[in-house]
Structure 1
Amino acid sequence: MTPPVPSSGNSGDLGDSGDGAAFLLTDGEPERPRRRPRRGRKRLILAGCAAACTLAAVLGVRSVLLPLIRPDDFEGAGTGAVTVEIKPGQSAGQIADTLAEAGVVATSRSFVKAVRERAKENSLRPGRYRLARGMAAGAALDRLLDESSRVVRRVAVPEGLWAGEALSRLAKGSGIPLAQLQQVVAAPHGLGLPAYAGGVEGYLFPATYEVEPNTTAKDLVRAMVTRFRRTAEELRLDQAATGVKLTPREVVVVASIIQAEGGRDEDYPKIARVIYNRLAKGRKLEMDSTVNYVQGRRTLRVSEKDIKVASPYNTYRYAGLPPGPIGSPGEKALKAALHPAEGDWYWFVTTDPGRRITKFTDSEGEFVKYREELNRYLGAD
């Protein structure tokens, strides 16, 4: 007997899976139920497409409007103030990037173009410059080529200062610590001093020096020595020294005394002649300036006690020139040492320091009278 097929109680060609899911019977195999469409994925795809279209539209608008919002080059001289530093060795392109980042020029490209059109690639110097924001590239280039735009410190070193005084002035004016400057002169190798120099005293040439932000203590001292050597070459100091029968070092020593003793510029050659006349006769120079140098003070009141100080720089006590310069002579003093005036003078006295009146004589009696004039002047102070 064929056993009866169990029935769920429903007839027809639709069957019930028992879990409420209906399916068709085909060739005795049940058909898998259909899945519902994934509407979420479609929505994501549509949203992504929409976002991409929006981005493309924004980029398209940006490409059209950006030149209008931020042009390739600004116009005019700009506004406000900004300080920009150009570092040593930077190319025109690197400088352009610096300017663009600071908002000085609109684009690096505009500045490089201005530089190349005017062939100024080798004219841009390192340093700090005062510029403005929003400048035309050509205007920015003009400012960089203008020395007045550079942010530099200028330090004036007058004639006749001792080395220590010059260093103090440099430190104060440059911002470089005095200790660093002192360390440089303590080991002067590499400063370019003349072979006949025994140290920096006398060779820190008096002038006005520019101090860049990256200037070191050695750079500054070396610049002063370089300036001395340039002046010495212009005066032909090495060759001209033979004309006064001195070594180049001795010429600098004489010039330093002239500078320290001198009043007016026209007196310098006369002071030189007094020195040479005394040297020729083997007489002591008896210069107050050398005594002041020994004692590290500047005064017109030199006493009997002062002139007895034991030092080879004391020309009241020892004959001949002191062993080294007593300060930094300027060009006029150096020139006077090389080209003294003609005369028989053996003494000179600055009788009126306020007006820088100096009197010369070959008579000791007149010299005493001139000293009395000076004493009266000092007594009135």
Structure 2
Amino acid sequence: MNIEDLVRETLSDMAGQEQPPPPSRFLRAAGGRPRRRGLALAAAAAVTVLALGSTLVVGGLSSRVAEAPIGQGTGEVVAKSVTVKEGLRLSQILERLSTATGRPVAEFRRAAADGGALGLPGYAKGALEGFAFPGTYQVSPASSPQEILAAMVARFARAAEDARLVEGARRVGRTPLEILTIASIVQAEAADRRDMPKIARVIHNRLDHTPEMRLQLDSTVLYGLNKFSVGASTKDLRSTSRYNTYARPGLPPGPIGSPGADAVEAALRPAAGPWLFFVVTDPERGVTEFAASEQEFFKLVKEREKHGSG
């Protein structure tokens, strides 16, 4: 096993041990190999290099960043800072990385398609969406797309371990992928992070309700159509996409973006409450209110209409 394979295996182990209107419509109207792991963690430094506060400096096995401190040296390599915001889709992340490094976005797409080489956990099912963890990264043009994306997956692994994602998912009766999918929806739907635990509770409650109750989320519909909009159109709602939560029961097949730590925490530990609906009653101020019945929901819709967004 070469050093790169060792790093990939370790990153995978770290991330996956053990191995109405609707909510959004309503918005609008361990054991193992300690010795090998110790070696691989040392090698993984070649990929994730150095954490400086909230910034991760990405070098890599094919990079020459480590030859001199960032911003100094021969001038052969200039690291650039790129911030991946919470909620960005993978397609947006790859575009930003392409711009920051000057490498064609096609190279990043090819690297992203090879999930096994990035250290993704088994429950990711080979798909990178949702696992490129948000944060600020310093990337070098000399670092390969695979190295950069592997560093983002390694950062996800660290966050997943901190949140005890696998154990927490089991505690609430979901799979880790389901929790990450819920977190990505919460991230997309929340106007204020303080509302995330309540929005997560709405999603959990609707999933646990009768089979006839769909999530009915515009955010998932738009993701499935690769559209960016405030809300889905009537035509969009007729989509046959697997992400159309108006037409299909349960969760979509995977995350619809990269959730941050707050959204993951909310998905694992939703607020206690009977809510089945949420409405942004004041879009300008980002005020979201919650309802447990259709009657309450329609009152919130009228409240929203007072702000000119019926």
TM-score (norm 2): 0.72
Q: In the alignment, is residue 347 of structure 1 matched against residue 274 of structure 2?
A: no
SS in 2 for 1:196: helix
Cα pair 1:128 1:152 within 8 Å, conserved: no
Aligned partner (choices 179, 190, 194) of residue 121 of structure 2: 194
Distance 1:131 1:167, change over 3 A: closer
Distance 1:130 1:211, change over 3 A: closer
User: 1:182, CA displacement in angstroms?
Assistant: 0.7
Match of 1:156 in 2: 83
Match of 1:126 in 2: 67
SS in 1 for 2:278: strand
Match of 2:104 in 1: 177
User: 1:379, CA displacement in angstroms?
Assistant: 4.9
User: 1:303, CA displacement in angstroms?
Assistant: 2.7
Cα pair 1:127 1:212 within 8 Å, conserved: no
Cα pair 2:71 2:79 within 8 Å, conserved: no
Match of 2:236 in 1: 306
Q: How do residues 31-180 of structure 1 correspond to structure 2 at under 5 angstroms? A: 125-127=66-68, 129-130=70-71, 151-180=78-107
Aligned partner (choices 220, 226, 239) of residue 296 of structure 1: 226
Match of 2:182 in 1: 254
| 1:248-270 Cα distance to aligned partner (Å, 9 max, x none) | 11111111111111111111110
| 1:53-111 Cα distance to aligned partner (Å, 9 max, x none) | xxxxxxxxxxxxxxxxxxxxxxxxxxxxxxxxxxx9xxxxxxxxxxxxxxxxxxxxxxx
| 1:321-352 Cα distance to aligned partner (Å, 9 max, x none) | 11111111110000101000000100001233
| Equivalent-residue separation in structure 1 for 2:87 and 2:216 (angstroms) | 18
Match of 1:361 in 2: 291
User: 1:371, CA displacement in angstroms?
Assistant: 3.2
State percent identity of aligned pairs: 44
Structure with the bigger RCO (C-alpha within 8 Å, sep 6+) is: 2
SS in 2 for 1:210: strand
Distance 1:244 1:151, change over 3 A: same
User: 1:310, CA displacement in angstroms?
Assistant: 1.2
Match of 2:29 in 1: none
Distance 1:129 1:186, change over 3 A: closer
Match of 1:263 in 2: 191
| Equivalent-residue separation in structure 2 for 1:196 and 1:325 (angstroms) | 12
Q: Which amino acid aligns with 1:181?
A: F
Match of 2:6 in 1: none
User: 1:378, CA displacement in angstroms?
Assistant: 6.1
Q: Which amino acid aligns with 1:311?
A: S
| 1:302-334 Cα distance to aligned partner (Å, 9 max, x none) | 233222211221111111111111111110000
Q: In the alignment, is residue 220 of structure 1 matched against residue 161 of structure 2?
A: no
Give the total of aligned pairs.
242
Query: C-alpha root-mean-square deviation of aligned residues, in Å?
Result: 2.4
Q: Which amino acid aligns with 1:269?
A: P
User: 1:176, CA displacement in angstroms?
Assistant: 2.3
Cα pair 1:259 1:333 within 8 Å, conserved: yes
| Equivalent-residue separation in structure 2 for 1:373 and 1:345 (angstroms) | 17
Cα pair 2:101 2:141 within 8 Å, conserved: no
User: 1:366, CA displacement in angstroms?
Assistant: 2.8
Distance 1:187 1:208, change over 3 A: same
Match of 2:35 in 1: none
TM-score (norm 1): 0.59
Cα pair 1:270 1:340 within 8 Å, conserved: yes
Match of 2:33 in 1: none
| Equivalent-residue separation in structure 2 for 1:230 and 1:154 (angstroms) | 21
Match of 2:27 in 1: none
User: 1:226, CA displacement in angstroms?
Assistant: 0.8
SS in 1 for 2:122: coil
Cα pair 1:350 1:358 within 8 Å, conserved: yes
Q: In the alignment, is residue 239 of structure 1 matched against residue 167 of structure 2?
A: yes
Distance 1:127 1:217, change over 3 A: farther
| Equivalent-residue separation in structure 2 for 1:290 and 1:131 (angstroms) | 45
Distance 1:247 1:206, change over 3 A: same
User: 1:372, CA displacement in angstroms?
Assistant: 4.4
Distance 1:151 1:245, change over 3 A: same
User: 1:129, CA displacement in angstroms?
Assistant: 5.0
